[in-house]
Structure formats: C-alpha cells, structure tokens
Structure 1
C-alpha cells in the first residue's frame, strides 16, 4: 500500500495528466525531476493505483464533457430560435406593411380628389360676384368647408396608417442584416448537425418550427 505522500503525488499526477494528456509534464507537476519525468510518467501510467485514480478522473471528465455538450446544444437551439423569431417578425412586418400600403392607395386617391374638388369650387366661388349672387357664393363656401372637414378625417386616416407602418418597420431587417442573419442561421444549423453526427455532401433543405425554410449547398448524411 502506497504512503499518503505517494498517493498525494499520484493524485497530482492524474489531475495534471487529464488536463494535458502528457505523462512527462504531469510527472513534473507531481514533483518528479525533469530528468526522470519521461520514464516516471510511463511507469505511473502502468501503476494500478494510478490507473484506478485515472479511471475515476476520466469518468468525471466524460460526465463534464457530456454536461458541456448538453449546454452547448441548448445554447445553439436557443440561438436558432432567436434567429428564427427575427426572421418571422421580419416576414410578418413586411406582409403587414404591404397590406397597409394597399390600404393607403384609396386614402391618397380620396385626398387628391377632395383637393381637386375644392380647387374647382374655389375657382367658381372666386368668379362669382358675392353682391349679385350671394346665395350661390355661400353655397360654394359651404361646400369648401365640408370638404375641409372631410379632408381632416382623411388626413387622420393617413396618419394612423403611417403610425402603424412605423411600428412594423422596427422589425424589418435591412439587406445587410438579412444576409447576415441567414448566414448565422446556416452556421448554427451546420454546428448542430455536425454535433449530432452528420456529415455534409451536396444539398440541405431544413424546415424549422418557425415556418422558415433555408436551402443551402449541403446535404446532411448520418455518419455510419
């Protein structure tokens, strides 16, 4: 049975070895001389007590690696989810803006017509001598006031549509950001599939829950 001091050196050697997988450097860390570190390292790897300690540390290392892999998977899926949410919001915002632009067309037409009608009525009112044809002059002026009231309503409708468009534009991605986010999405997918044991060949078509399809120049085939 090795002494307590020797066991302590074994433990230091094992901890150093699982960090570097270099027996010589691990032996130096454990206090062995640099001259004999190479031979001592090889000898220690064959020692039963060292092998037992090493098996225990390797098991812990595998558990840590497994935990780290799970964390990385979770992080990548969260990143992919956030990217897809941005893409979906962009698409929804663009669709909403397109619809609002269609709604804006009749509003603009109505405003233009009312302005043209007012200009015609004003011209007619200006041509009338108010002293000789007071009633017709008043009628034209009333028509102009009514048109002014109607245009106030139309202007309010326009302002409301533009305010809605401004809200949706917050979610729009410019061409540079759009290209960047698609590249990011493809990179995350490749990382996820690589970690899942897939290899690339020619083409890839992926459909995510968010409803966004990305087609890239790779095809994923499971290893083995």
Structure 2
C-alpha cells in the first residue's frame, strides 16, 4: 500500500469514477481541466495511490450493498412469513407465501414428467414375478 496522500481532487475523482467508470468524465466532474480531462483521467488511473483507493472504495461499497441486500432479504422473509401465518390472509395468499418461503430456502417442488411411448401412446409396464 502506498504511503502517498490523496488530494481532495483525487478523492473527488475516485468517487466520480466509480459512478460510471469513465475517467474523462470523472476528471471533469472532479474539477480538472476539461481540455486535458482525458489525459488527466488516464494519468490518475495509473497512479498506485488512486488505483488502490478505487479498489478499496469499490470493495467498501460492495460490502455495504451486500449488507443492505441481506437486510432486505430478511425483511422480505418476515413479510412472507407474516402473510403465511396471518389468519386474515386468504388461503391462496398463504399458499403463495409458503411456496415462496420454501423456494427461497432451496426447497424446489417435485417436477412431474409425463412419458409416452415411441408412437406417442401410453407406455405399458408389465411386472413379472421372478421364478426361483
């Protein structure tokens, strides 16, 4: 990890860059010269301190998003459970909530398959008693 400090403009560039991954536009939005924005954006991305800061900030944002997703998933689970156990919910709503809960928990419904013979007709199965 580099010991060099980031300037306020570089920090602004990093935040702007993570919005759309466009170095030129990020440089302009961060307050760098519009005329030289492409060159400056390229140079900033090549600086170790800037590239490390981009990686670190992106990891922090992803971590926060994962935490928010987990929170939202728990809230959704609670809503489904409340619908399922609510005596005022319709039977249809209870069944849908129960099915969704089971699906999210990894329990898949049994798939039924209809099989036909090569002629499209029914398959005939004959059980024969073994002779000993």
Compute the TM-score of the two structures, normalised by the length of structure 1.
Answer: 0.39
C-alpha distance in structure 1 between counterparts of 2:67 and 2:20, whole Å: 20
Q: Indicate whether 1:71 and 2:58 are aligned.
A: no
Deviation at 1:40, TM superposition (A): 2.1
C-alpha distance in structure 2 between counterparts of 1:50 and 1:189, whole Å: 46
Higher helix share: 1
| Aligned residue in 1 for 2:28 | 28
Higher relative contact order (CA 8 A, sep 6+): 1
Q: Indicate whether 1:82 and 2:75 are aligned.
A: no
| Aligned residue in 1 for 2:43 | 43
Count of aligned positions? 109
Deviation at 1:57, TM superposition (A): 0.9
Higher strand share: 1
Deviation at 1:79, TM superposition (A): 1.7
Deviation at 1:187, TM superposition (A): 6.0
User: Structure 2 vs 1, CA of residues 36 and 66 (structure 1 numbering), >3 Å: closer, same or farther?
Assistant: same
Deviation at 1:62, TM superposition (A): 2.2
C-alpha distance in structure 2 between counterparts of 1:43 and 1:19, whole Å: 18
Deviation at 1:24, TM superposition (A): 2.2
Q: Is the 8 A contact 1:23 1:38 kept in 2?
A: yes
Deviation at 1:185, TM superposition (A): 6.0
Compute the TM-score of the two structures, normalised by the length of structure 2.
Answer: 0.61
Q: How does 1:1-224 map to 2 (within 5 A)?
A: 7-86=7-86, 89=87, 171=88, 173=90, 178-179=91-92, 182-183=95-96, 192=104, 204-205=108-109
C-alpha distance in structure 2 between counterparts of 1:216 and 1:79, whole Å: 27
Deviation at 1:66, TM superposition (A): 2.1
The gaps in structure 1 that reach 5 residues or longer are 90-170, 199-203, 206-214, 218-224
- Bigger Rg, which one: 1
C-alpha distance in structure 1 between counterparts of 2:100 and 2:20, whole Å: 30
Deviation at 1:56, TM superposition (A): 2.3
The gaps in structure 2 that reach 5 residues or longer are 113-132
| Aligned residue in 1 for 2:126 | none
Deviation at 1:80, TM superposition (A): 1.8
Q: Is the 8 A contact 2:80 2:98 kept in 1?
A: yes
User: RMSD between aligned alpha carbons?
Assistant: 3.4
